[in-house]
Structure formats: structure tokens, C-alpha cells
Structure 1
Amino acid sequence: MKVLTLNEEGLRMAARRLADDIVGSCPDGFDLMVGIRRGGAFVADGLREALPDGYCRCRRDVELQRPSTKRKGDRLFAILRKMPIWMLDTLRCVEARMLQLSCRGRRVEEMGLSPDTAPLPSLDEKPRILVVDDAIDSGVTIRVVCDALQERYGTDAVIKTAVVTVTTDAPLLDADFYCCHDHTLVRFPWSMDYKR
């Protein structure tokens, strides 16, 4: 497992790489791009800039966080800012392993997650939807969002997924488009342990 820190320019480069892969595989574009807040919304912003004009007819974000993410607070943020980068990398690797162990064998329904799909628009039959997140770890978050979209728009909806990194070998739902799929943990500019 390795840790990669992406600054704003690195994020733009990752978005351009994703955009090239997406356009190459799906030349007809998408009716809707859905960013999963918080990190997925930032990646979706980068994709919007990198994709051709009109490639995604509309863009919305959905809110969904793991309960563990909500518990992280200001005190932890202050502590992380003072740690050396090698220690932050070690903590990221430990957290990733703990997450893998805590999700192993659990069903999606047991996670107690449901996205807020209220801001999503009505779409024509057989819509093409691109779901964007920053990373897939267990795959629970993106699976829950994709299941909710399939339920809302019907089984004829074509749903593709794009992320910067997939950190595990066998997530519940894998990405169709990604920059890294080799256990790379990415520290993004919005991460609590990000340092300039």
C-alpha cells in the first residue's frame, strides 16, 4: 500500500486522464453526472472542466458519508496538521486496513447508508449516468449511490463509475474508470491530513 498526495494541479491532471478514458469509451456522453459529496463533488468539478462542452447534459451532487467520517472533528484536524508526513502515511495505511476488516462480510444493507437523491432531475427513458467519487475503498458508498440511482431511473439506466483511485482488490462495486487500481491511497487537497 502506498500513499500519493495530489495537489490542485495533480487533481486537474487526474481529471484530464479520467476524461480521456471516459470519452474514449463512451463517445455519446451522459445525461447526468452525479458527484458523491464531498470528495466526489470536487473530482466531478475537475471532470466537468476536462470533458468536452455538452458531454454531460447536467450535473448534481448527492450527500452520503460513512458514520466514521462524520465523527472526525476539529481536534483531530489540529493534531494531523502537526504530524510529519511519514506518520500521516502510516496512519492512512492503518485506517485503510481497519476499514477493510470492518467491512469484510457485511452486507450493504447493514451499513445504514442512504443517499439524498432529492436534488436529482427527471430524465428520459434509458438515461446514461456517470457517478463520480474520489476513491473506492470498500465500495459500499458508490454501490449504495448506484443502487439508489438504478431504483430511481429504472433498470434500463446505464450507470458508469469514475474515481481517482480504487484501494482494494475486490470492492463491492468496482470503478469503470480510474487513475489508480493498485492499493494507492490518495491524499487530496480536501483531506484532513493534506499539507501544502
Structure 2
Amino acid sequence: MLRTRAAASILPSTRASCFTSGPHRAPTAISSRSVLRQLSPYKTRRIFLFSASTLGLSTMARAENKDEQKEPENFAYVHLWVDSEGETHIKDAKMKGFELKKYAADPQFVKDDIETPTKVVFTELSPGIEQDFHPCPEVQFVACLAGAWKIRTTDGAERTMRAGEVLFQDDVEKSPAKKTPKHWSAVVGDQPCQQMVIQVGNRKPEVDKPGVL
């Protein structure tokens, strides 16, 4: 209400020109530039100050909201995790441990507490490929770049991974579980599945820790 009254006191009061005794004419639109020409320098300055302060307050509000947000809203990944017996399971999880800081240019959410990659592999799996239960070669991330592939764990759960989705798995042969954990995988559909595999061989495999990242 205060803003409405302030704006009304600044702008000139004009009568609608369409209510005249002459022939009917369509109302003429008045541009903001022509309105400003009719104002005194004092009122023009007040309009600009009012607009600038409103913009400044909204910018400050956005900045405060950004500072209050400590983590990305939904940085999703799929965890193929292992229990102490060696059975494998699937969990939809969200990454945590981000820090809002300057990285490349402007401040952004950064998570850099994962061990240094030991190997990066790009691979393309042809349609029809199906791999029986097996452990993965190293603790690794698998990012699906194109196509789709399906994983199945020893508890019978299945998940189709599509382009843009990331899998983290540590079902390796050297797992501390009682038996070697394994998973099954296959290409889905009639298109190749392209993947980027990021191995973190220096990371120790763990058990009973779903959603560990």
C-alpha cells in the first residue's frame, strides 16, 4: 500500500482522453519516455531513485537466498552398494559435502573431497551385450553419455541408467565383504551405450554404507 501511494504521488495525474464529446477515437498509448518528459527534474529523480532501490532490494534478497543454500538441491547419483555379506543393492542417493566457492570463475557448488582419479576410460557397448554377474575392476564412477544400460544386483533389484545419469560402485574383488560382490549388466535398446568410467583406485571399498558420497 505504501509503494502504491508513493508511486501515485510521483506520477502525474491525467484524465483519460477517451471520454470526450467529439468523435470516438481509440485511446492513445502513452510511452514511458513521453511521461518522463512531462515530469519535473525533481519527480524524475524520485522515480529513478525508487526504481533503483527496489532493484537493489531484490538483488540483495537473491544473494541472501544463495548464501543460505549450503548444498545443491538435487545432485543425484545411483549407488551400487555392498553389504557385509557381499550382497549388492541399489540406492538412489544425493551427493553431499559441497562448498560454495570460486572455482573456474563465479562462485559455484564444488565437491572436491573424492580421491584423485587413477584412470579415465571411454567405452561404447554395442546393442545386445549382456554381461553375467561380475565385480567391477576398481572403485569407480560410470557416467552414461548416450544410449542406456541396465544393472541388476544380487538382491534382484534392477535399474536402467540413461544419458546424464551417474553410477558409483565399489563392488570390487578386494571388497572387505565376506564374499566377492557382483552385479549383472546389459545394453538396453538397439542403440550403443556410450560411457565415461572414472576409476578411483586409491579409494578403499566399503560395506553397509549406502549413499556414502
- Is TM > 0.5 for Structure 1 vs Structure 2? no
Higher helix share: 1
Larger RCO, structure (CA 8 Å, separation 6 or more): 1
Q: Taking structure 1 as the reference length, what is the TM-score of the superposition?
A: 0.22
Task: Point out the structure with the larger strand share.
Answer: 2
When normalised by structure 2's length, the TM-score is: 0.21
Name the larger-Rg structure: 2
